[in-house]
Amino acid sequence: MKISIVVPSKGCKYLGYLLTGLRDQNVKPNEVILVVKECDLRRVENLCSRSNLPCAIIEQKNGYFTHALNMGKREAKGDFIIFTDDDAIPLSKWIERYIKLHTMYPNIAGVSSRDIYLNLEDIRVMQTSDDKVVTKLYRWVIRPWLERPHPLLSKYRMGVYLTRDLDVAHGPFIPGKECFSLPFRGVNMSFKASYIYDAWFPEHELLRRAPGNEQYFGMQLILKGLDSIYVPGNPVLHIAREESLSRSNAGEIKLETRIMKSLYRKLIEAMVA
């Protein structure tokens, strides 16, 4: 089984941490596809060389985040494709666990897990909103009544799903229990290559971060009759920085969210017509 890791990177500031984590995997990747933008290519080559990793470096000259994801996916040749971010630090059995999960669930197209924020200054794990008691109570008590899943996603209600209004929602099993789920976060998701050959991330001239692009990708699998799951037990550490915690200003997020909802709608209408 061949493993492809796809990593988009803008600036490449934290890329060394990711490559060190991949170097220390007990099961090595067969290829690490780096789609880099505004990076020092010589530095990236040196990082790959020092980590002794089979890197394919692609320079992105146009487009935004999801363009980079599609560029990387297009180049991937592995049986399993794992997507992550350049500021993630995978634990040593990360790849091995994904291989075992995909072997255990041969008919599942995608498996995703969580990220845990890490403060590099004091090496401190930070609580996310998913871990707060008030969030968990809301997801158990309020959300099932107010934010019901789209009819196509009723069995996904415990995980990540789209509501009837096409908002992205997290059900009560997120982040602590295994469940049917659209991909949770792009920093930690994996797929069987044979199931995603015709699935792509959304591209639009106004989508810089494309919030919910993971769910758009996952919906294409659901609409083909496939399934994806979330598991809590294969996390990555995610370097805490302002860009990670708040990628864009409120106005940009609102605009991009509206665009994503229109793309969800077009996707569903096209597939069920």
What percent of the chain lies above the pLDDT cut of 70? 97
148 DSSP 8-state letter = P
Specify the pLDDT at position 69. Answer: 98
Q: What are the distances in angstroms from CA 249 to CA 131, 169, 209?
A: 24, 21, 11
Specify the pLDDT at position 245. Answer: 43
The two three-digit tokens of residue 77, written as one number: 């040749």
Specify the pLDDT at position 246. Answer: 45
Q: Could you read off the pLDDT of 26-44 as tens digits, one per residue?
A: 999 999 999 999 999 999 9
The strands making up 236-239's β-sheet, listed across from edge to edge, are 88-90, 236-239, 115-119, 124-126
pLDDT < 50 regions, the chain: 244-247
This prediction has a pTM of 0.95
Specify the pLDDT at position 1. Answer: 87
- Topology of the domain comprising 3-272: Spore Coat Polysaccharide Biosynthesis Protein SpsA; Chain A (3.90.550)
Q: 3-state class of 43 per DSSP? A: helix
Cross-strand partners of 168: 162
